[in-house]
Every structure is written in C-alpha cells, then in structure tokens.
Structure 1
Amino acid sequence: MKKVVVSGIRPTGDAHIGNYLGAIKYFVDLQNDDNECYYFVADLHALTTHPEPSILKKAVPEVVKTYLACGVDPKKAVLYVQSSAPAISELFMLLSNIAAVPLLQRCKVYQTQIKEEHKNDNFGLLGYPVLMAADILAHQANLVPVGEDQIPHLEMARDFAQAFNRRYKEVFVEPQAMLKKPIRIPGIDGKGKMSKSKGNTINLTDSYENIEKKLLVAPTDPKRARRNDPGTPNACPVIFEMHKLVSSKNQVKTINEECKRAGIGCRDCKKILIVNMEKMIKPIRERYKELETKPFIITEILAEGGEKAQKHIEKTIDAAANTMGIFRY
C-alpha cells in the first residue's frame, strides 16, 4: 500500500542550492519511490511575515517553476498552492478549537521568531503549528519529510490528531516524521548557513559567471596564508564543505590529501568546485528558463493540482466537521 507523503515550501524568493539539496531533491526521490506525494506552495503560511501582495503573487509561480525544474513530476506528485485547497483552512478552524494556547506559546520556534528575529507577534505566527497540522492531517499523511527544526511542529500535529481522536472519534492518521540526514549548506560568506535573508546564497538560476564570482571570493582556511603552506580542509568554512555536497567522493578524497600537503592551492580548489557546481545547476537553470517562456503550463499544473488536492481532502474534512457536530445544509 502506498504511503501518503506531504510537504511544502514557503514562497520566499529565489531558491538556492540549500533548498535543493536540503529539500527538493529529497521530494524528487520520494515521488520516484512510488509514494502518493502532495507538495504545496505555502502561501498562507507566508502571510505571517506580511509580504508585499505583489511580491507574494509573483513568488508563488516561481516556486512552482523551481519544483518542476528540479525534477518534481506532476504525473507522479500532486503540486498545488495551499490556498487552492480551501478545505485546509476549514480544518485549521476546526483544529483551532482543540489547540491549547499555552502549548502554542511554549513552542520554541514561535518564541525564537518573536524574541530573537523580532517578527511581528500575530495570531498567524502563534497558530502556525495548527495550520501546519491541517496541511498534514487533511491528507491523512503517513509520512512528513522534515528537518530537525520542524520536529516540534510535527509533534504538535500528532498531539492534535490524538486529542481529536480521543475527544470525538478516530478520524485522523497520526503522521510520522521522515528525518533526513541533516545537510548544512554554508553561506558563501562563511558566516553560518546559507540564507536568503543574509544574501549569502548560490541560487539555482545563477549563471556560470555569477557562480564563479561568488565562489572565487569565498573565505578559505584562515591559517593558510601562502600557496605553499599546508592547509586544513576541515577548517575551510565554505569551499571544502561544498565539495562534500557537490563533488564526487574521489575528488573530495584527492582534494583533502592535496590540500594537506600543499599540492593544490585554494584558487585551484575553488575552480574545481565551480565546475562541479555549474554541472549540478546548469540543467535546473535551463529547465527554469524554458518554463519562463510557458507560463500557461504553470497555470494548468496548479489548477489541476488544486482540484486534486481539494478532492483528496474533502472526505476527511467532512468527517471531522460532522464528528464535531457541524453539518452541511
């Protein structure tokens, strides 16, 4: 029996290699493993940060083009926009009535966003885990691919499912986490992970020239001052870490050995990475550019995907509503 897999991405601007290696590539693998996959663009979640309407409207199809360019196949997975399945919003409302406010306030992700990232404190942020639970439970998802930072939200989705099933009757499947091996993509500035907000990314639409420009100035081993000095690959905050992700095992092994004996210089090491990075990004970039000339394809895929998603979840939403005493007249 096929497993139901659900996951989504917020439309927050140009996708970078961290998005691809950390999430989208995994989505492609899951669809090819004969799972029943539902991948969505989380436009409702994006509203919590008050994006400009024009920017959000433009960002949604860009995310879809990225999905498609990276290999998500609408013949194997349902691709839709969150707001195109309005039954999810209804389930959000139903689940809100069993979600304890103190539990939401204790959520570490919520506390971090309010205290450290200084985001506006609004109900959308507080209720974020409830909407995420609705995204998952609506599809009766068995498996949810998540990173470690999303585990608390998934646990809350399980809590809501258990609370509902216990209080009324068993309606929801309890989803399980699909924990990926953590992939830490360093930013090109060497200051923490790659992030759009920090402007330290290599985007999936970057040209060869842009990739080269960004990587040639990336920091390397700070103690290797001269070409003939032996290096310490693991002290290289960007280049060697990226080699581990995009270069072959044999290349990584050779670079590690040659760097330690000063057989290869930092610039030469960067040039190898640039070639390998371009090899990975080029097919994605070219497919993305092709899709830009065919906007009608995106519209058709999203219309069909939204219809399929809505149809798939209606039975579950109706069951939950009826169980709570809400009937359609």
Structure 2
Amino acid sequence: MPVLPTPDASARPDVVALDDVLGADPGTYRVLTGDRPTGPLHVGHLFGTLATRVTLQRHGVDTVVVLADYQVITDRDDTGDLPGTVREVVLDYLAAGLDPDATTIFTHSSVPAVHQLMLPFLSLVSVAELDRNPTVKAEQAASGRALSGLLLTYPVHQAADVLSVRGTLVPVGRDQLPHLELTRTVARRFNHRYGHVFTAPTAMLSDAPLVLGTDGAKMSKSRGNAIELRADADATAAAVRAARTDAERTISYEPVRRPEVANLLLLGALASGRTPQDLADEIGGAGAAALKRYVTDALVAHLAPLRARRAELARDPDVVGDVLARGAARAAELADATLAVVRRAMRQTS
C-alpha cells in the first residue's frame, strides 16, 4: 500500500484530505464507507457523503459501500420495512451517480465473514475502551435507551467492516476520528499478536458542509426535518417554506449568529454552484421570502435530473437486487479471503 500524503506539515500522519487522495494515485486506495438504512436519504447526504463517493469513484478509487442493516437494531426494537428501506437507499445511491460497475454496494447481512471476523477482534479491545468511545456515548444519548451489547461493540463491528475488505481509507467527519482510531487499534493489536496481516486504515477527513434541517437542527431522517432525495418538487417547496429563519429583514451570511438563515444560503449556494456570501449579497434586503424562493428554485432544478433518473430506475423491479447481488459477491470474496488469512495467522487452520 502507498505511503499516504498529509494535508500539511502539522497534520496527523494518519489523516488525509480528499484533495491529497485525488492528487496522489487514487487507484491504489480502497475506501470503505456506508450507511445505516434507517430511512430515506436527504440533501444533507447528497451534498456530503454521496458527492464525495461519486468523486472518488470518478477518479478511480476502489470504493466499497456497506448498508449496515444489522446495525439498525443497535438502538431500536422495530426495524420497520428494512428490505424496503434498503431498496430506497440503493435507488438513491444509483440516482446520485454511484455506478455498480465501479463501486461495490452490499448489505451487512449478505456477507457472513464480516461478522465472523468481529469475534477475534472483540478479544483485542477492553470493555473500558468501548465504554468511553465518544461515538457510542453519542448514539446512546440520542437513543435514550439502555446501552445494548450491539451498540457497545459497534466500533468493533465497524472495524470488521473496514478490515474485512482490506480498506485503506475511510471517510469520516472530525468528530468520528476516535471511532476510526479503534479500527486502527484493532489492526495494530492483531498484527502484534499474530503477525502482520492488516494495514491500519487512514482517515480521509471530510470537508463536506454540514446541512441543517428545516428546524435548525442537524438534518436527520428521524427528526422529520429533512428534504428527501425521493421527494417531488412540491414537497421540496413545502419543506423550504417551513424552514426557520429569524426576524431580521436583511439577509446576511453569519453561520454562528444566524444559523438558520446561513443554512438556507448554504443550500441555495450548493444547489446553484455559488458561495453563500455571494447569494446573501444578492438577496440582501429582499428578505427571507426571497431567499426561500431562490433556494426552492435552485434545489428543484438541481435535483430534477436525479429524481428523473431515480424514477426510471424504480420502474425496473430487478435493478436493486442485481446491484446488491453483485456487490455481495465481491464483498464476500474479499471478506472470505481475509478471514482465511486471519484463521491461518491464529493457527485455526492449516
């Protein structure tokens, strides 16, 4: 594997930026990323993770995307129509530009070797390390439930996802760096105990914008504040009309002091290829109503090709099954090979 470049001299050597990856030799990397299929994807996903995945794919990075269907039960009793949700998310992926000829898309439940790897990995970490993981704490607080064993061990499950396919690069937000650090710890400890098998993956720090929901909180599938990719133009317009602003007439881009207005400016700018400041200067004293009209028109126009493509894909009853079958076959091949190496290293097989 290549020695990965760093964004600047003061940066951590285990963290890179997207530009560093694209400026090196993208074909030497393998990215592992994914989602929990807990609901439909929204514009926050589009302008954040999906856009990055399409860029990686376009530059020849081997990209593997896991739909972590087993992880849906970490913080809920009822998974709802999980197969239906998976289908909707895959349609969103394809409509946004992920190409199954270049990107591997699979579900957790379709690759047993991933979960077999989790067992030896669990022996490499302590309960105390898992208990103080900030991602586990945040997820538990958000769920309001007692901590389940699956949620407690979620970071190890993620390590199994990454290491099963020999992922060398994992896109994360800054707040997720401790989460990925456990994957690096698992890789290092396994190598120390059994001999070198794994390359500790590098974090690719995301510079994707944080898109807030229509209520001013983080856009979330569960909060009812999201603009869904699969929605139609009328639903998008209704969501933007309902978005919070403030009492000031003149529009200005001040993310700290005026987060709701700044978020609408960000959405409008992302959808139209402009900067939020430029858009604020244009709208100025025309007020929130003018801003919302602009954002609505920009989003509807930007999403129209994606939504048309999605509708076309949805008419094919076999497209999602075919994509997932192909993805599962490749992911299983990678994970089975990794499991065989792990078992030999642990002297569990000849």
TM-score (norm 2): 0.86
Instruction: Report the equivalent of 2:238.
Output: 213
How much does 1:115 deviate? 4.1
269, 282, 298: which one pairs with 1:244? 269
Q: After alignment, is 31-40 or 237-246 more displaced?
A: 237-246
Equivalent residue for 2:337? Answer: 315
Q: Which runs of 5+ in 1 are unaligned?
A: 225-229
1:165-176 equivalences in 2 (<5 Å):
165-176=191-202
**What pairs with 1:126-165 in structure 2 (closer than 5 Å)?**
126-165=152-191
* 2:83 is the alignment partner of 1:93: no
Superposed, 1:299-310 pairs within 5 Å as: 299-310=321-332
Query: Relative to 1, partners in 2 of residues 1:149 and 1:56: Cα closer, same or farther, differing over 3 Å?
Result: farther
Distance 1:116 1:18, change over 3 A: closer
Shift of 1:253: 4.9
User: After superposition, where does 1:93-132 map in structure 2 within 5 Å?
Assistant: 93-115=119-141, 117-132=143-158
Could you say which residue in structure 2 is the equivalent of 1:284? 306
For structure 2, the residue ranges without an aligned partner over 5 or more in a row are 1-26
Cα 1:98–1:74, aligned 2, differ >3 Å: closer, same or farther? Answer: same
How do residues 41-80 of structure 1 correspond to structure 2 at under 5 angstroms?
A: 41-80=67-106
Q: Secondary structure at the match of 2:239?
A: helix
Deviation of 1:314 after TM superposition, in Å, equals: 1.6
> In the alignment, which residue of structure 1 is the partner of 2:279?
255
RMSD (Å) for aligned C-alpha atoms: 1.8
**1:177 equivalent in structure 2:** 203
- Equivalent-residue separation in structure 1 for 2:118 and 2:297 (angstroms): 46
Contact 1:186 1:242 in 2 (8 A): no
Cα deviation 1:182-233 (Å, max 9, x = unaligned) = 411011122x221122211111011111111121232224222xxxxx4434
Deviation for aligned residue 1:248: 2.8
* Bigger shift: residues 115-124 or 299-308: 115-124
1:198 aligns with 2:218: no
Structure number with greater Rg is: 1
Q: Displacement, 1:117?
A: 3.6
Most deviating of 49-58 and 15-24: 49-58
Would you say 1:232 and 2:270 are equivalent positions?
Answer: no
Contact 1:43 1:83 in 2 (8 A): yes
Q: Is the 8 A contact 1:221 1:232 kept in 2?
A: no
Q: Please list the CA deviations of residues 239-287 of structure 1 after superposition, one character each: whole Å capped at 9, or x if unmatched.
A: 223223223327x455322444x2x232222211111101221122222
Q: Would the aligned equivalents of 1:79 and 1:306 in 2 still touch at CA under 8 Å?
A: yes
Give the structure 2 partner of residue 18 of structure 1: 44
Which residue pairs with 2:289 in the alignment?
267
Query: Do the aligned residues in 1 keep the contact of 2:165 with 2:338 (CA within 8 Å)?
Result: yes
Q: Deviations over 1:109-162 (max 9, x none)?
A: 222333454133111001000110000011111111112232111100000000
One-letter code of the match for 2:203?
A: A
| Cα distance, 1:189–1:53 mapped onto 2, change above 3 Å | closer
Q: Does 1:325 align with 2:333?
A: no
Distance 2:142 2:218 in 1: 17
Q: Is this contact kept in 2: 1:185–1:193, CA < 8 A?
A: yes
**CA shift in 2, pair 1:164/1:237, >3 Å:** same
Instruction: Tell me how far apart the structure 2 counterparts of residues 43 and 173 of structure 1 sit (CA, whole Å).
Output: 26
Distance 1:231 1:270 in 2: 11
CA contact (8 A) 2:215 2:225 kept: yes
Q: Is the 8 A contact 1:137 1:172 kept in 2?
A: yes
Displacement, 1:19? 1.2
Q: Work out whether residues 218 and 238 of structure 1, in 8 Å CA contact, stay in contact via their aligned partners in 2.
A: no
Letter in 1 for 2:281: E
Q: In structure 2, what residue type is equivalent to 1:246?
A: A
2:114/2:160 contact within 8 Å kept = yes
**Structure 1: distance between partners of 2:138 and 2:61:** 34
Contact 2:252/2:262 (CA < 8 Å) preserved in 1? Answer: no
CA contact (8 A) 1:219 1:238 kept: no
Q: What amino acid sits opposite 1:291 in the alignment?
A: L
> 1:164 Cα shift?
0.5
Which TM-score applies when normalising by structure 1? 0.91
Distance across 2 between alignment mates of 1:54 and 1:266: 38
Percent identical pairs in the alignment equals: 31
Q: What is the CA-CA distance between 1:32 and the residue it aligns to?
A: 0.9
